Amino acid sequence: MARESLNDVLITGQQTYQSIDNSVGSMSLDPKRHKKNWFVMIGIAFLLLNLFMVSVGWLLYQGVGVWGNNIPTGWAFDIINFVWWIGIGHAGTLISAILLLLKQQWRNSINRFAEAMTLFAVICAAQYPLLHTGRPWVAAYWLLPYPNIMAVWPQFRSPLMWDVFAVSTYATVSILFWFVGLIPDLATLRDKTQNKIGRTVFGFLSLGWRGSMRHWHRYEQAYLLLAGLSTPLVLSVHTIVSYDFAMSVVPGWNITVFPPYFVAGAVFAGFAMVLLLALPVRAWYGLRDLITMRHIDWMCKIMLATGLIVAYGYILEAFYGWYSGNPDEWSLLNWRFFGPYNWAYWSLIFCNCIAPQVLWSPKARQSIPVVFTVSIIVSIGMWLERFVIIPMSLMRNYLPGSDRMYYPTIIDFTMFFGTIGLFFFLMWLFIRFLPVINMFEMKDLLYKLGKTPPAPAEKEKAGVGAE
């Protein structure tokens, strides 16, 4: 792949409103845009999705004992995967909400994509809180506060309870945010499609959008409000997830640095995943002009920055283990550095602290293969981070007599890869049926950048052009 030049523009090539509609909108409308790659990818994802369903079926039939969890390691792959997916889901909201409020225009071409990713990642994450319980058939409703004649309520002091609220709020707001942002584009598709079913479905989903001044006004208001609403969520969700650990007395968990370090780690992992998805999609669908090297460059820089915060977190963890003089913390650290699972710790350090440092180099940031590789490494690293934190801390205890080893089972892996299948299956369906890039925002951007003065004729054609 020839190296693409890094110019300071967010849209390259000769673009018109029409061409944006065409290059993005036709992905939903024209099946011919989806070549072999799409079928191969969704095929693999579908197989993995089936693996997931079989694993879940076996899990429900047998019990959580099909995993490797034990006593003392009550949580392992289940919570690792939960935290990992929730973390990945962070980039979407960050891009949509915080960057919107900060008026970062470069977010426009990747926000739709990232929001969809958030949603699907949250769906994947949401599999675990329920399935990891011993009795999911009662956990499904006992974890929710509902008035009942026994006056039995959930335990509001439990961080797991906070988790239930944090994640469900996050999921709700993410769906709303994503859907509200989709409405103008859905209307475009409704107008453009030749297909009767498409017209009905898109017509229904676009909620009667006509592109009137009043519509745009309401839209902007609603979008801004939702952005304001979800901004604290970006910080709160992973903070609360980190409370699951930080609020406990387990050595290796009970650390005040967890909330910021978890949030940074989430953004780190989230951007890695956005890149992992965006790079092939922009290549396969000819979207290089809309997701430009500038976007990639910025995303790399954010990864680098959050990666450094995460590295700082690791250093602090080690420092406190030593500085606190707490023998339990210190023995845990030794276990991480030199214990039987120390390969996981050192791989984590490599993946999250050392490998991303290549992104200091502008050349590396412009090299698609390098960026792609780093993104994969970071994703693995962030998974390992949770492995180091969750099961590795639990194996080692206050009373050495209760130390036991943890080993995952085959079902642990099939469920993990299964959720990856679920994620990609949804992702590829999204790519097939919905506009992966925010068309109207791109057109708005095109207007604001002054590249192509809007021609009246085109505006009418577009139907939903920026007023």
Question: Of the candidates 402, 410, 448, 449, which one interacts with another protein according to CB under 8 A?
Answer: 402
Question: Of the candidates 119, 131, 277, 394, which one interacts with another protein according to CB under 8 A?
Answer: 394
Cβ 79 to another protein shortest distance, Å: 9
Task: Kindly state whether residue 65 participates in binding another protein, applying the rule CB under 8 A.
Answer: yes
CB nearer another protein, residue 208 or residue 327: 327
Task: Kindly state whether residue 337 participates in binding another protein, applying the rule CB under 8 A.
Answer: no
Question: Of the candidates 40, 101, 138, 225, which one interacts with another protein according to CB under 8 A?
Answer: 138
Question: Of the candidates 23, 73, 206, 292, which one interacts with another protein according to CB under 8 A?
Answer: 73
d(CA 190, CA 197): 10
d(CA 267, CA 260): 11
Structure letter (DSSP) for residue 464 = S
Region near another protein per CB under 8 A, out of 61-69, 179-187, 196-204, 440-448: 61-69
Q: Which of 450, 453, 444, 454 is nearest to 184 (CA)?
A: 444
Residues 245-304 binding another protein (CB under 8 A) are 247-250
CB nearer another protein, residue 74 or residue 454: 74
Rounded to 5 degrees, φ, ψ at 6 are: -95, 95
CB-CB contact of 411 with 381 (8 Å): no
Cβ 136 to another protein shortest distance, Å: 8
Label residue 25 exposed, middle or buried (CB < 10 Å: 0-12, 13-18, 19+): buried
CB nearer another protein, residue 165 or residue 219: 165
Helices 111-131, 36-62: inter-axial angle, 10-degree rounding: 20
Task: Kindly state whether residue 160 participates in binding another protein, applying the rule CB under 8 A.
Answer: yes
CB nearer another protein, residue 328 or residue 441: 328
Assigned token pair, 365 = 């940031």
Task: Kindly state whether residue 372 participates in binding another protein, applying the rule CB under 8 A.
Answer: no
Task: Kindly state whether residue 147 participates in binding another protein, applying the rule CB under 8 A.
Answer: no
CB nearer another protein, residue 319 or residue 407: 407
- What 400-408 contacts at long range (C-beta under 8 Å, 24+ apart), as own/partner pairs, is 402/72, 403/72, 404/70, 404/71, 404/72, 404/73, 405/340, 406/68, 406/69, 406/70, 406/73, 406/76, 407/68, 408/67, 408/68, 408/76, 408/77
Question: Of the candidates 56, 100, 117, 143, which one interacts with another protein according to CB under 8 A?
Answer: 143
Q: Which of 160, 139, 180 is nearest to 75 (CA)?
A: 160
> CA 96 from chain center: how many Å?
12
Task: Kindly state whether residue 315 participates in binding another protein, applying the rule CB under 8 A.
Answer: no
Task: Kindly state whether residue 13 participates in binding another protein, applying the rule CB under 8 A.
Answer: no
d(CA 146, CA 165): 13
Cβ 18 to another protein shortest distance, Å: 54
Helices 159-192, 111-131: inter-axial angle, 10-degree rounding: 140
Contacts with another protein: how many residues (CB under 8 A)?
52
Question: Which parts of this chain interact with another protein (CB under 8 A)?
Answer: 62-66, 68-75, 132-136, 138-139, 142-143, 152-155, 157-161, 164, 244, 247-250, 327-328, 331, 394, 397-407
